[in-house]
Amino acid sequence: MFAPDFSTFDQVMKVAKTLADFESARKSLGDKTVGFVPTMGALHEGHASLIRRAVAECDAVVVSDFVNPTQFNNKTDFETYPRILDQDCAFVEAIGAAVLFAPRVEDIYPAGTDYDQRIFDLGGLDQYGEGPRRPGHFNGMAQVVTRLFDIVRPDRAYFGEKDFQQLAIIEYFVKNLHYPIEIVRCPIARAEDGLALSSRNKLLTPAQRAAAPHIYACIRQTANMVGKMPVAEAVRKTTELIDAEPQLRTEYVEIINSLNLRPVSSWDEAEHLRLTCAVYAGEVRLIDNIALK
């Protein structure tokens, strides 16, 4: 696990908790190439991998730390989402970010504005996978991402492929809305035992954490099923493999066209296929995905 080392950087990171503070910090960056890593905090090595890449590729990096209420369709999930801002500040500064932006809800969605009411064209990419299972989630995500883009005004923004559907939707509306921002795809960061890194992992009990790597172990086996049985059979077998672990309960397994996110019914239906899944460990919902071809 990444351990902060403050001796590495002479630069003192600015922490902006209001729009006014951020505008001052942003102005100080001048005409530098700005990389942006939006997060909901509770930072971990997965976030660190995004920030490190941004630091390597940009003159200055802004990291946001904001738990967005409009993308939670489950109130309990929003209320229990980990919030550890002081630790996040230390974590981000050690990696070399220039600014941590930790706004208040009223900064992102000021009274008298319609930022939290905007409805976005998501190109139908929200009709599959997570979309039907988390109503309003992707529109809420688009609300906060566009708002942050407008405030931060980055040249590049970095997103991990763990949230594969989210990333595809962001790429779509960035192009559709003509944002002059390069979206940089970054591979899934995993623990040594294969578990996809997620802030929600902090909510797992020791027994659930020990069982959770079983998800990745099972979906890796799906790659060996490609072309050897019908897609529906591969989905069924993968679901059974995951559910064989008593601590886990599969919500869905889908094999999708990587470009339009639609579930496929045959292996030759698309050139690029991906398996996506959501699995519960107790009440903690974990998502993962893997390229099949």
Positions marked active-site:
47
3-state secondary structure 166-203: HHHHHHHHHHHCCCCCEEEEECCCECCCCCECCHHHHH
Alpha helices (runs of H) in the chain, residue ranges in sequence order = 19-28, 45-57, 75-80, 85-95, 105-108, 130-133, 137-152, 164-176, 206-211, 214-222, 231-243
Across-strand partners of 250?
A: 279
3-state secondary structure of 236: helix
Across-strand partners of 126?
A: none
Give the angle subtended at the CA of 108 by the CAs of 137 and 158, to the nearest 5°: 65
DSSP β-ladder status, 60-65 and 34-39: parallel
Tell me which amino acid residue 155 is: D
| Burial (CB count <10 Å: 0-12, 13-18, 19+), residue 4 | middle
Question: In which residue are the tokens 């993968």 written?
Answer: 238
Beta strands across the sheet bearing 60-65: 14-16, 99-101, 60-65, 34-39, 156-160, 182-186
> Rounded to an integer, what distance in angstroms lies between the CA atom of residue 189 and that of residue 33?
25
